[in-house]
Homo-oligomer: A and B are copies of this chain.
């Protein structure tokens, strides 16, 4: 450091951006100049403490800097006051107050890292970038002056622009009505909420004094369930989460029956729209109550939904989606106001819906892509979100392909005699003893398996009520492994006493008895057929994308959604839901659609990113593809009539399954697989 130095070199970590500034330059100004994002609500008044940084001490040969704390000015009045009032961690400085005195390397702490990563260790938002679409700015407004007759709105804008680097700012019309009273009551000190500060800044709310009162909503509107998170947009923390059944169910179980309802009934669309908007408003009330948060803080919301839910939520007629060519009203992301939809949020609150990918591939699928970004994977990667509809995305190393496939609700426990939704009492895991052919199983809500001595006692409260989706996948896989189900999905007739004890006639077919007595639970031939149809639709969709991209296998499979989280990956492959793959490369990734909604809520740049990704996606309409039918028929087989599933067979140590031809003869497989996966 030169005694006569008038410029100092500053390097910001972790970005490594650097530049020379006159000695005495506040660090915040230097950061701004270099395009390093350092958050600030108070605009350098030493109130908000969001702009904290620390000196990285040591010798940095790369920059030729001997970086020491004394390269910054001593703590001034503002920093000392902040330290006394709110506490400043050791070594931390307010970058608005600390000025450059010499060459230095500055670390932007984790919690305030570029674009503000979240501070709280919340399971769902940890690691997400936080740069919301609505941000707060504290300002002190000049009082009116007859000699310079600017309006209150202009003086407010002037105060903001003097402190913050924003473009032309507008004031939402509804705020102007009470602006004068509010400014005077707040003694000209207010915190304004600005929507879209980076592009078209608009003041959408004004709070008296200094405030950090800002929250947002991330909602996944599913055909069956609506799930919502209330998030603190200042910390990134999830304040409360809640879900509710989609009340549209009373108008139709699945999407197409709801579209039919719209087509067949006057005010059909209005009824469905009102049902979902009312439900969301109920969730908003519930979440604000749970979190103890003011409604006026709730200034942004992100929604994801499949195309039909999306249109109905917005009050748009989904009829065109119900028929070829499946035309959407709008495929691009929707930006509108909460008032446009009738949401019980403040008047200035904005709403964002992720783009739709295609007529049957929705904003929920886009959200999965945003959360999973398979296009950054090093190998061909398949992402599958299984619900009533399966959303399928395939990254083949060059392009991202997407499609949806109508699996129907069988995977969710519907359409099968023994099936039920995942709820306490439902069988979620199951094994068949290879010798006795008796089942032992585990139900939701009880830790012990059914062959444990304490099972009866511990499961008393819920009882055993049925089989949920993941249980059905396992039982059919086990039946296949136990040799009582053929490769083409026929339950064999019993050949001996052991089999006679578990295989019972059911009209012209046979049923497999899972639980004798109360309740009586069995798997019928129809149940197997329902699962075969569902999984064939899913697999045919996946194969279609693989054919389109010319690849024959994938390096990784990610299973999104609630079903994907509970399913046993080995059994999913055993049944041929997804392509053959190393079992340890098949992963559940949780509620990726909900995660995507949260990401878009917390980071406005993520919205542009997913919009661009969706524009680049190769959309495949499965119904239009000539080969879909053949792929579907082949996929009816277990795991598949055409594809060998070598890895899956190896995993289950099987040489062969019961061939389709053998069912009439009732012969057992030459060698039974032993289940390794528990």
Query: Are the CB atoms of A153 and B330 closer together than 8 Å?
Result: yes
Query: Are the CB atoms of B151 and A331 closer together than 8 Å?
Result: yes
A471 to B358, CA, bound (A): 75
Query: Are the CB atoms of A179 and B329 closer together than 8 Å?
Result: yes
Query: Are the CB atoms of B359 and A149 closer together than 8 Å?
Result: yes
**Per a CB cutoff under 8 Å, which of B329, B359, B624 touches A180?**
B329
Asked if A167 CB lies within 8 Å of chain B CBs, one says no
Q: Which of A65-73, A319-327, A416-424, A654-662 contacts B (4 or more CB under 8 A)?
A: A319-327
**Per a CB cutoff under 8 Å, which of B151, B324, B359 touches A327?**
B151
Copies, count: 2
Q: How far is the CB of A309 from chain B (nearest CB, A)?
A: 16
Query: Are the CB atoms of A176 and B145 closer together than 8 Å?
Result: no
- CB 8 Å contact bits of A141-177 with B (1 = contact, 0 = none): 0011111111111100000000000000001011011
Asked if A643 CB lies within 8 Å of chain B CBs, one says no
Asked if A57 CB lies within 8 Å of chain B CBs, one says no
- Which chain B residues lie closer than 8 Å to A315 at the CB level? 177
Specify which of A151, A320, A326, A359 lies most central, judged by the most chain B CB atoms within 10 Å of its CB: A151
**Per a CB cutoff under 8 Å, which of B146, B181, B327 touches A326?**
B146
Residue of B nearest to A178 (CB): B317
**Per a CB cutoff under 8 Å, which of B145, B176, B358 touches A316?**
B176
Asked if A516 CB lies within 8 Å of chain B CBs, one says no
- Which chain B residues lie closer than 8 Å to A179 at the CB level? 329-330
Residue of B nearest to A620 (CB): B147
Asked if A668 CB lies within 8 Å of chain B CBs, one says no
Q: How far is the CB of A92 from chain B (nearest CB, A)?
A: 41
Asked if A314 CB lies within 8 Å of chain B CBs, one says yes
Q: How far is the CB of A389 from chain B (nearest CB, A)?
A: 15
Query: Are the CB atoms of B619 and A149 closer together than 8 Å?
Result: yes
Q: Which of A497-529 contact B (CB under 8 A)?
A: none
Specify which of A171, A177, A327 lies most central, judged by the most chain B CB atoms within 10 Å of its CB: A327
Query: Are the CB atoms of B336 and A149 closer together than 8 Å?
Result: no
- CB 8 Å contact bits of A325-352 with B (1 = contact, 0 = none): 1111111100011001000000000000
- Which chain B residues lie closer than 8 Å to A331 at the CB level? 149-151, 153-154
Asked if A621 CB lies within 8 Å of chain B CBs, one says yes
Asked if A356 CB lies within 8 Å of chain B CBs, one says yes
**Per a CB cutoff under 8 Å, which of B146, B329, B332, B359 touches A146?**
B359
Q: How far is the CB of A263 from chain B (nearest CB, A)?
A: 13
- Which chain B residues lie closer than 8 Å to A329 at the CB level? 151-153, 176, 179-180
Query: Are the CB atoms of B180 and A144 closer together than 8 Å?
Result: no
- Which chain B residues lie closer than 8 Å to A336 at the CB level? 173
Specify which of A143, A152, A314 lies most central, judged by the most chain B CB atoms within 10 Å of its CB: A152
- Which chain B residues lie closer than 8 Å to A327 at the CB level? 144, 151-152, 180
- CB 8 Å contact bits of A291-328 with B (1 = contact, 0 = none): 00000000000000000000000111101100011111
Q: Given contacts A151-B330, A154-B331, A177-B315, are A325 and B621 in contact (CB under 8 A)?
A: no
- CB 8 Å contact bits of A610-622 with B (1 = contact, 0 = none): 0000000001010
Query: Are the CB atoms of A325 and B145 closer together than 8 Å?
Result: yes
A357 to B151, CA, bound (A): 10
Residue of B nearest to A200 (CB): B200
Query: Are the CB atoms of A171 and B330 closer together than 8 Å?
Result: yes
- Which chain B residues lie closer than 8 Å to A150 at the CB level? 328, 331
Query: Are the CB atoms of B147 and A621 closer together than 8 Å?
Result: yes
Q: How far is the CB of A260 from chain B (nearest CB, A)?
A: 17
A147 to B326, CA, bound (A): 10
A315 to B180, CA, bound (A): 13
Query: Are the CB atoms of A149 and B328 closer together than 8 Å?
Result: yes
Query: Are the CB atoms of B621 and A176 closer together than 8 Å?
Result: no
A611 to B320, CA, bound (A): 46
A147 to B325, CA, bound (A): 9
- Which chain B residues lie closer than 8 Å to A171 at the CB level? 330
Q: How far is the CB of A622 from chain B (nearest CB, A)?
A: 11
- Which chain B residues lie closer than 8 Å to A174 at the CB level? 340
Query: Are the CB atoms of B317 and A180 closer together than 8 Å?
Result: yes
Q: Which of A601-629 contact B (CB under 8 A)?
A: 619, 621, 624
**Per a CB cutoff under 8 Å, which of B149, B151, B619, B624 touches A621?**
B149
A174 to B316, CA, bound (A): 10
Specify which of A147, A173, A337 lies most central, judged by the most chain B CB atoms within 10 Å of its CB: A173
Q: How far is the CB of A552 from chain B (nearest CB, A)?
A: 24
- Which chain B residues lie closer than 8 Å to A153 at the CB level? 329-332
- CB 8 Å contact bits of A343-383 with B (1 = contact, 0 = none): 00000000000001111000000000000000000000000
Specify which of A174, A324, A331 lies most central, judged by the most chain B CB atoms within 10 Å of its CB: A331
- Which chain B residues lie closer than 8 Å to A332 at the CB level? 151, 153-154
A204 to B179, CA, bound (A): 28
Query: Are the CB atoms of B624 and A326 closer together than 8 Å?
Result: no
Q: How far is the CB of A345 from chain B (nearest CB, A)?
A: 15
A319 to B180, CA, bound (A): 10
Q: How far is the CB of A357 from chain B (nearest CB, A)?
A: 8
Query: Are the CB atoms of A152 and B621 closer together than 8 Å?
Result: no
- Which chain B residues lie closer than 8 Å to A173 at the CB level? 336-337, 340
Query: 9 additional contacts, CB 8 Å, given A149-B621, A153-B329?
Result: A149-B359, A152-B320, A153-B330, A153-B331, A154-B332, A176-B330, A177-B315, A177-B316, A179-B329
Task: List residues of chain A with CB under 8 Å of any chain B CB.
Answer: 143-154, 171, 173-174, 176-177, 179-181, 314-317, 319-320, 324-332, 336-337, 340, 356-359, 619, 621, 624
**What are some 15 contacts across the A-B interface (CB < 8 A)?**
A143-B325, A144-B320, A144-B325, A146-B359, A147-B621, A149-B619, A151-B327, A152-B329, A153-B329, A153-B330, A171-B330, A180-B317, A180-B320, A180-B327, A180-B329
The list of the 3 closest CB pairs from A to B, nearest first, reads: A144-B327, A151-B331, A151-B328
